Structure 1
Amino acid sequence: MKKTLTLICLLACWLCASAQSLREVWIDMPDSITPYLTKSQRTELADYVDMRAEPVVKNALGDTVRIERMTGNYLLVKLSKSSLLEVKLLDNNTLALVQTWKAPAAESKLCLFDLHWHGKASVVACKEDIVKPDSMSDEEFSDLKSLAVPRMKEYHLSVDDNSLSLSWNYPLLSKKEARLVEALLKPQILNWTGKDFR
């Protein structure tokens, strides 16, 4: 009994010691993800959050980097006027990282990592079915369907749960045309299954 209790205590201590906070994950992020932001600058930003000061630094390109939101398992960083970075702790061994670039239409990339920033396979199983609304004529649907290409995916991680929102942007369309096409391809909310988003 004593051996079992000792083993459980040792295991609990090991788990606590090995668990990383989001702050540590952010600071230990590889420089290759944000090559113009050093580890010392990431540490400085995290320190500002802890001190409840304005979490802003200038990166190597002269752009302002700001932590917009940081919770126990979610981080949103505005890297520049045209790029965002989101990090979410999905479970005890999985990080989701979303990088979004706006130039000017937004496009995102999703990557999964373990807590030591080793890459993991990432799957986003979404339906890209273009659906004709009942109120739309066949001719109008055919015209709008041809406008839906090319399109770019925009991702956002949820602060509240392990879901991923997905929407599409159309870089070659006017705002009016994009609004019309949006009726054919709706945004989606995908949930983390432990292996993928679907």
Structure 2
Amino acid sequence: MKKIVLLCFLMTCVISLHAQDAKSVFINIPDSLCPLLTKVNREDFADFLESKMKAQVKNKMDKMSEMKVLTKDYVSLQTTSLSNFQMKLLQLNDTTKIICVINTVCGPVCDSRISFYTTQWKELPSKDYIDMPGMESFFITPESAKLAAYNDARASLDFYLLKSDLSKDSNELVFTFTSPQNLDESLAKALEPFLKKELVYVWKDGRFALKN
């Protein structure tokens, strides 16, 4: 009897671990979180990539979507010509993983939304896992001689667009401040000396935090 109980326990552990790889988690994403793609579409993506084929399918809008990358913990998907989806499995503790999802729309300047979920796709409060950078985080306050130019350039921005990208090879998250791309060339050039190109966050101890 004890052997049967132990066997059942081990089988449950194996099934649970398998269900926490990116392929299985992505295939089982609720349709409400991936409205353009059916479950069959998602299964086809994985099958095509595993067969070394181009992973393209026709989505529900009768347009092409393409899976770019699939690893054991990462998915990158071009859902439309103007939008993409990224997903990363992150280790929360010794036994639990959570999902980080980034949906980006480029129209034409890119802007992203970050969400977090359990591996059963129950949404989690984002504030528990990251403090998002504000627009001021990207500005470099200059020396006093350049302060007037800085203030003039800074005044040209009254909107905040932020592109986010998960790394497929590490637990890093890169933020790119895209608002300047929506300015005319002269204003964007005036702003350039006062801006950080990007901010890199790293997943550590169950949260994303700014990398030192």
Task: State the TM-score bracket (shorter-chain normalisation).
Answer: 0.7 to 0.9
Partner of residue 104, structure 2: 100
Partner of residue 44, structure 2: 44
| 1:163 counterpart = 2:161 | no
What does the per-residue CA deviation read over 1:72-113, in whole Å, with 9 as the maximum and x for residues that have no partner?
A: 111100001100100001124201000000000100000001
The answer to whether the Cα contact below 8 Å between 1:122 and 1:196 also exists between their aligned partners in 2 is no
| 1:30 counterpart = 2:39 | no
Tell me which amino acid in the other structure corresponds to 1:188: L
**How does 1:117-136 map onto structure 2 within 5 Å?**
117-123=121-127, 124-125=130-131, 126=133, 128-129=136-137, 130-134=139-143
Partner of residue 184, structure 2: 174
SS in 2 for 1:85: strand
Name structure 2 gaps, 5 residues minimum.
none
**How does 1:143-154 map onto structure 2 within 5 Å?**
143-154=152-163
What does the per-residue CA deviation read over 1:40-77, in whole Å, with 9 as the maximum and x for residues that have no partner?
A: 11111111112111100111112210011111111100
Distance in 1 between residues matched to 2:192 and 2:13, nearest whole Å? 46
SS in 2 for 1:147: coil
Name structure 1 gaps, 5 residues minimum.
none
Partner of residue 203, structure 2: 192
What does the per-residue CA deviation read over 1:111-158, in whole Å, with 9 as the maximum and x for residues that have no partner?
A: 001111111111332353332234961210110111232121110001
Tell me which amino acid in the other structure corresponds to 2:98: T
Partner of residue 149, structure 2: 140
SS in 2 for 1:192: strand
Tell me which amino acid in the other structure corresponds to 1:107: D
Instruction: Return the TM-score normalized by structure 1.
Output: 0.87
The answer to whether the Cα contact below 8 Å between 1:148 and 1:181 also exists between their aligned partners in 2 is no
Distance in 1 between residues matched to 2:44 and 2:146, nearest whole Å? 57
Distance in 2 between residues matched to 1:185 and 1:196, nearest whole Å? 25
Alignment length, in residue pairs? Answer: 195
Partner of residue 61, structure 1: 61
Aligned-residue CA RMSD (Å): 2.4
| 1:16 counterpart = 2:14 | yes
Distance in 2 between residues matched to 1:194 and 1:83, nearest whole Å? 31
Q: Could you tell me the percent identity over the aligned residues?
A: 23
